[in-house]
Structure 1
Amino acid sequence: MGGHFLLLGGGFIGQALARRLTELGKKVMVVARNAPPHALPGVIWRKSDLSDAALLGDVLPDCHAVIHLATTSTPGTYSREPLREAEENLRPLLQLMHALDSYPTIPLVYLSSGGVIYGNPETLPVTEEHGLVPLSYHAAGKAAAEHFLGVFARQGHRVIILRPSNAYGPGQPFKTGFGVIPTLLEHLLRGTPMEIWGDGETVRDYLYIDDLVEACLKALHHPASGTFNVGSGEGHSLNELCRLAERVTSRQLELHYRPARGGDVKAVVLDVDRIRREMGWVPQVDLEEGLRRTWTKLLDEA
């Protein structure tokens, strides 16, 4: 089979995965709308819209595997714009599937979202068998993508769907609405107040970036289609997360609580037994150590 690993999406996760693949001596091409702030040695970067059919036709013939990491939304974006969610996230995926139909031996790894796709699970930790209960158009888009990919897999293509929890770590940029950990660490660094929607008792599963990258690598070599949760297997409330960050940084965080938003999941913790059994993957970095590494990197760059 061909040469390079094709990464669709060059954000925080894409850059981390590209670096790791090049460290392993792999050829890597990244297709993304925006170039990274710093060049990644050994990585071919193609700035393009992901629905560019001509580009896909150009790069797929020499492709070893495809990893779909791209998304333009969070549960808070496009909250009243379902058509925009479909156009910007779902349509490019369908375009990719159409192009891949001519290359049945190329495996596809798709990053869904374990943090939003289950809604408010009836039991915790939640397994992959739990029904999909999206509470936002972002989550509905992920659910729709999984259903399309399920049909694609039943037609004979190898599709591995990963449902990661809330990924974080060094290099994750501070951007309003994207990632609570970079947000709270940025406020700790600047000494500015942070807004919390609700009472701070919402529970999430936080996954260190190196552990997520390792799960992606194992998925690339998995011999069969399947869907897998990828998380720490532990839940922490937002209030607990803030206290832990204060302990790690030895700084005080000023919190301003605001009314809760309707589309937010109350609690989700992922059961990761399936990926442990079938791929031998287990998370290595706990939340306190991950926060410490992320804070150290942030101080170095400040």
Structure 2
Amino acid sequence: MKNKNILITGGAGFIGSHIANELMDNNDITIIDNLSTGNIKNLKSEEHENLNFIEGDICNFNLDDLTSDKDYIFHLAAMASVPLSVERPEECNEINLNATVRLLKSAADNDVEKIVFSSSSAVYGENKNMPLKETEPPMPTSPYAASKAGCELYLKSFYESYGLNYTALRYFNVFGPKQDKNSQYAAVIPNFISALLEGKRAEIYGDGEQTRDFVYVGDVVKANINACESDYNGIVNIASGEKLTVNRLYGIVKNTLGSDLEPEYLPERPGDIKHSLADVSNMEKINLKIDSSDFESQLIETINWFKTIL
């Protein structure tokens, strides 16, 4: 992708900053981020000639000022915490759903070519039809998941009503460098790493036999760019298509760091799902294939990054 005018909402966050850093040298990038969870230091150059950084909130910003000259939008700004959404459902709805609808209307009015939306596997809830296909009905178990499912419906409706092209990417458990240990995205990995590096016992919610489908942030960046350049309108799971128990994950991190600390098991958190595994066949529609055999090397790269900041 080159010579495009791009808006990234939440572009200082974990995933958004990786997208921005990948595209910054060859495109004009505008980022809006209220820095509630993001950090401008995630960007490779705060003073890059192609970067326009706006510290602001899309909930109370004139969106036409943002979208009027944009080719593409990567929409990642959100309340991305399941527990916080359970605690503050109305705020979650305002940030995740209402702000997205206003952004879609502004994008349609200003002839934006395409919007790529960061959705979540949380929309599947406790659906047991593994591996999970995009055609399965949403079964959200938290306000966060419900808000993401609602956004997907609005994206389709704006495509049908206004011709606004879109792809909604349902991320499974994303991990990688620059991830905040308080992040909703696969927070288990940075929590394990940071705890063991600090000589503390890591926390596992539940019995640890819950399974997750992990995907590296570099693959998520490829997914966003490929989706943007594709002509596909619809939903795509972004995952490895492989499942791993939290206990097994802990064992890998523990062995990699040479630790002998055992985890501390805590009660399950409200809204958390037990099992998650993606059907990844739809990724071919955006010309994406993920090699799950790279997981351990990607995990080592993530661990090495955490060593530099702790």
- TM-score normalised to structure 2 length: 0.90
**Aligned equivalent of 1:200, options 208, 211, 230:** 208
CA distance in 1, matches of 2:297, 2:183: 24
Task: Give 1:128 deviation, angstroms.
Answer: 0.6
**Aligned equivalent of 2:44, options 27, 40, 45:** 40
Partner of 2:71: 64
Greater Cα shift, 76-85 or 209-218: 76-85
Query: Structure 1 residues 246 and 254, CA, compared in 2 at 3 Å: closer, same or farther?
Result: same
Cα RMSD of the aligned pairs, angstroms, is 1.9
Task: Give 1:105 deviation, angstroms.
Answer: 4.4
Task: Give 1:106 deviation, angstroms.
Answer: 2.2
Contact residue 89 and residue 143 of structure 2 kept, 8 A: yes
**Aligned equivalent of 1:143, options 127, 146, 149:** 149
Secondary structure of 1:63's partner?
coil
CA distance in 1, matches of 2:135, 2:59: 31
Greater Cα shift, 57-66 or 267-276: 57-66
Partner of 1:122: 128
CA distance in 2, matches of 1:111, 1:297: 24
Task: Give 1:39 deviation, angstroms.
Answer: 4.9
Equivalent AA in structure 2 for residue 57 of structure 1: D
Partner of 2:110: 103
Q: How many pairs align?
A: 298
Query: Structure 1 residues 222 and 259, CA, compared in 2 at 3 Å: closer, same or farther?
Result: same
Equivalent AA in structure 2 for residue 290 of structure 1: Q
Unaligned runs of 5+ in 2: none
CA distance in 2, matches of 1:253, 1:221: 46
Contact residue 165 and residue 231 of structure 1 kept, 8 A: yes
Task: Give 1:266 deviation, angstroms.
Answer: 0.6
Question: How high is the sequence identity, in percent, across the aligned residues?
Answer: 28
Contact residue 119 and residue 132 of structure 1 kept, 8 A: yes
Equivalent AA in structure 2 for residue 300 of structure 1: T
Task: Give 1:97 deviation, angstroms.
Answer: 1.4
Contact residue 210 and residue 275 of structure 2 kept, 8 A: yes
Task: Give 1:94 deviation, angstroms.
Answer: 1.3
Query: Structure 1 residues 113 and 162, CA, compared in 2 at 3 Å: closer, same or farther?
Result: same
Contact residue 17 and residue 42 of structure 2 kept, 8 A: no
Secondary structure of 2:71's partner?
strand
Unaligned runs of 5+ in 1: none
Secondary structure of 1:172's partner?
coil
CA distance in 1, matches of 2:223, 2:253: 25
**Aligned equivalent of 2:19, options 14, 17, 20:** 17
Secondary structure of 2:250's partner?
helix
Contact residue 68 and residue 107 of structure 2 kept, 8 A: no
Contact residue 242 and residue 253 of structure 1 kept, 8 A: no
Contact residue 187 and residue 253 of structure 1 kept, 8 A: no
CA distance in 2, matches of 1:102, 1:297: 42
* Correspondences of 1:170-249 after superposition (within 5 Å): 170-175=177-182, 179-249=187-257
The superposition leaves residues 42-98 of structure 1 with CA deviations (integer Å, 9 ceiling, x where unpaired) of: 3221111112442x2223222110010111232111314321111122121111012
Partner of 2:174: 167
**Aligned equivalent of 1:93, options 81, 84, 100:** 100
Greater Cα shift, 182-191 or 256-265: 256-265
CA distance in 2, matches of 1:3, 1:218: 14
